Copies of this chain bind each other. A is one copy, B any other.
Amino acid sequence: MLMKAQEIMTRNVVKVKGSATIAEAVALMKENNIRCLIVDRRREDDAYGIITETDVVNQVAAYGKDPQQVRVYEVMTKPCIVVNPDLGVEYVARLFSQANIHHAPVIQHEVLGLISTSDILRKSDFVNNPKEKLLEEEIEKAIAHAREECHNKGNTSQECAVAWDVVEELQAEAAHQKAEKRYDLGQGG
């Protein structure tokens, strides 16, 4: 089984107001030894925002601006891309790669945690259990199962057809996994 976002996310989420200064945001990051802060929603039709180390360096330090004068809302990203707690870690990595992001809040009704590129590198098991191996094993099992079903229920049975459908879908996923295409800026359409 793949690890899920919620298994490797950081539960210590620090929030900041959109009206706070960048100096205050930097102080929060340093104190908590973290690289991003969440800007909370004001009500349910509002969006979550995020402000990262990179936002501060690239948009404030790079222009020599005074962090006492710049506000969080001027550099935050809102709405931000969010991750479902059950999403497999490889999919989180792929989403990060596609969207060119390094941090995202993990959300189910409310913010449960934060997940980052570092969390994936350090806490997930992608080195020992790469998905391509897991998928290969799954496909082998599905093929064995399909053969059994067709043998037991007959080659023209519903069960046999369904079992081979599962194999086909797994093979499609494995092929998709390998297709290391370069995405557009986000999803294509």
Q: A residues within 8 Å of B by Cβ?
A: 1-2, 4, 17-19, 22-23, 26, 29-30, 35-36, 42, 44-47, 50-68, 71-82, 84, 86-91, 93-104, 117-118, 120-122, 124, 126-127, 130-135, 168-169, 171-173, 175-189
Contacts and interface: CB of A to CB of B under 8 A. Distances in A.
Contacts of A175: 71, 73-74
A4 B53 CA distance: 19
Stoichiometry, as copies per complex, reads 6
A65 B90 CA distance: 10
A34 B30 CA distance: 18
A127 to B, nearest CB: 5
A54 B183 CA distance: 13
Given A130-B66, A175-B73, A124 B61 contact: yes
A4 to B, nearest CB: 5
Given A50-B189, A81-B186, A93-B57, A64 B99 contact: no
A117 B178 contact: no
Contacts of A66: 130, 132-133
B189 A52 contact: yes
A54 B176 contact: no
The residue in A54, A78, A97, A134 that gathers the most chain B C-beta atoms within 10 A of its C-beta is A54
